[in-house]
Amino acid sequence: MTLTLATTTPGTPEIFASLQGEGPSMGRPSTFVRLSRCNLACEWCDTAYTWRFTGDNRFHRDDLAFERTENQVPMEEADLAQAVAALVPDRLVITGGEPLLQGAALARMVTALNDIRPGMHVEVETNSTVAPHPALDALVHQYNVSPKLAHSGNPASLALVPARLAAWAAEPRAFFKFVIAEEADLAEVMELQETYAIPGERLFLMPEGRSSDVVRERSGWLADFCSARGLRFTDRLHIHLWGDTRGT
């Protein structure tokens, strides 16, 4: 059985060791596995190569189309488990795209990984719209949940699924991360926090930006807002260190 991964270069699956750049685990050494495919289309997405393939007319501000054969690669579950186990970090971050679209295969891969290297901490990054496969859910230590606001360009009917948001808010392993581009986005976050009773200690606000200058410009007023509202701020550490590049 296979998983569909994104690539760093054609034919090379995006599996790499780095520091987690965002959220509650920021700064921790982690092994990343980036899966391909997404059910949403954020206009500012910095990994559009995981979903905006030639012929896809969903909007993205860069208006780039990626060749599927160069940006997707299948990988056997057992081979992926071996590749993750071979890297140094004891923390696995499964990202995308939308990883939970491949939940059953991920469950088998993580089970194989646990047989090879027991005790790894497993994080899954998700856009909040897909329920975890039960077999995978039993193996996950942390969910990094990033619901998409109106400025993402996704219709709320697709991006903000009430049943899923309520389930994530009730899940103590789930940490919410909202991408903020301008101050007007904050009212939407506050409404969602109130509607779904999201605890402030599990709610992060992160400046949108694919360059260090943009992230820093937005960080000042966003950090002030977090401090005043009892929310958590998260930077984009990998952008400051390596820029907007694959495999970092």
Global pTM value = 0.97
Q: Which stretch of DSSP H or E encloses residue 188?
A: helix 185-196
Contact 178, 147 (CB under 8 A): yes
Q: Where along the chain do its domains lie? A: 2-178
13-24: pLDDT as tens digits: 999 999 999 999
pLDDT one-digit tens code per residue, 102-120: 999 999 999 999 999 999 9
Contact 77, 3 (CB under 8 A): yes
* Strand partners of residue 95: 34
**pLDDT at residue number 241:** 96
Select from 125, 197, 129 the least CA-distant residue to 163: 129
Mean pLDDT of 42-51: 97
Q: What is the pLDDT of residue 140?
A: 98
Q: How far is CA 169 from CA 148, 196, 201, 225, in A?
A: 15, 6, 12, 21
Q: What is the pLDDT of residue 157?
A: 97
Q: pLDDT confidence of 185, banded at 50, 70, 90? A: very high
pLDDT in tens, 186-218: 999 999 999 999 999 999 999 999 999 999 999
Distant-in-sequence, close-in-space partners of 231: CB < 8 Å, separation ≥ 6: 200, 203, 204, 205, 225
CATH topology for 2-178? TIM Barrel (3.20.20)
User: Cα separations (Å) of 223 from 54, 89, 174, 211?
Assistant: 38, 30, 22, 18
**pLDDT digit string, tens, across residues 53-110:** 999 999 999 999 999 999 999 999 999 999 999 999 999 999 999 999 999 999 999 9
